[in-house]
Amino acid sequence: MNNLIKSIVILAMVIMMFGCEEEVPDYAADIVGKYIVESIYSSFWDETIDLSALPLEDAFFVEITRDELKTYENDEDRCLDTYTIENDEIDGVTETSILFSDNTEMDYNEVSGKLRIEDDGDIILLASYSDAVPPASWTNPTLLTNDTYEPNNDITHATAIAAGGTVQNHYLAACNDLDYFMFSANSGTHYILETTSPLNADLDLELTLYSASGSEIDSDDDSGTDYNPSLYWTCQTSGDYYFLLDGFWDDEVGYYSVSVSTSTTLQRASSAPEEKKHRNVEKMRLSDLLFN
């Protein structure tokens, strides 16, 4: 055989050899990615905990590379630029399991586009996440992304709220979040500034009303339901007015609703300053259940 034919024969044999070899599926490629924890079923508590509505600073993240499964948890004090990360070294990925170098494994499968991981009876449901992990606010508390109205931490960034009873849903975040609001008021009209928080929420808000020049007009702490403030006020001069909602204590966090309503007749008689409502024990953090 001349050299050309020899080369073609060798090439053909090489192609046949590799062609016949069974291809090992790249299972790892199916699960590599960044995820946000959507729910956790705890076999110990026999309870599924829905985490899908948590603000980013309270959420949990998982990042899977070919070598590692990393779990991210923000520190309890959201005001620090630190967080906790746990690395589990991955040895291999089969069709159903992630094998770790410490000889443990977790089963996985896909459920409606989510990655479902089972670990010793606990079930963690992960949704794909495309933004930075950990979120920027974990290392820079000024970037807390607690609700869509942020930033509104000063009067110049106040959230506009219509004085027609529209209810806005907000979140008071850690690190001394301040939520400023602005509404237009008419002389002679009565206004009711009202807040509510979900049942059993451990949230104690206070409200301060300001004029456009920033001078304090009135304030309230607990006149509403639970520990929520509400304020009855009659406008003397038409114009823009501002109010601040912040936590009575430094560690207040949680969802609340706020509205500004008008009334031509309703005006609550002013009462003497009330006593501060007594609060019960602190609520336990979710991560105390999950990671300890």
**Footprint of Ca ion on this chain (CB under 5 A)?**
146, 152-153, 177, 179, 204, 221-222, 227, 248
How many residues are present in the chain? 292
Closer CB to Ca ion, 61 or 149, in the complex: 149
CB of 105 or CB of 179, closer to Ca ion: 179
Which tokens belong to 139?
């290392």
Cα separation, 284 vs 292, in Å, equals: 12
| Edge-to-edge strands, sheet with 168-172 | 168-172, 254-263, 190-196, 230-234
Closer Cβ to Ca ion, 38 or 222, answer by number: 222
Q: Residue 277 Cβ, how far from Ca ion at the closest point, in Å?
A: 7
Residue 73 phi, psi (nearest 5):
-130, 130
**Shortest spacing between CB 220 and Ca ion, in angstroms:** 8
| Whole-number Å distance between alpha carbons of 165 and 142 | 31
Q: How far is the CB of 178 from Ca ion (least distance, A)?
A: 5
State which residue, 126 or 229, has the beta carbon closest to Ca ion.
229
Angle at 182 between CA 176 and CA 183, to 5 degrees: 145
Contact 234, 191 (CB under 8 A): yes
Instruction: Tell the smallest beta-carbon distance from residue 112 to Ca ion (Å).
Output: 32
> Which is nearer to Ca ion, 60 or 227 (by Cβ)?
227
The letter for the amino acid at 12 is: A
DSSP sequence for 165-202: ---EEEEE-TTT--EEEEEEE-TT-EEEEEEE--TT--
CB 199 → Ca ion: shortest distance, Å?
16
- Minimum gap (Å) between residue 159 Cβ and Ca ion: 8
Closest listed residue to residue 93, CA positions, set 33, 22, 35, 25:
25
**Which of 35/183 has CB closer to Ca ion?**
183
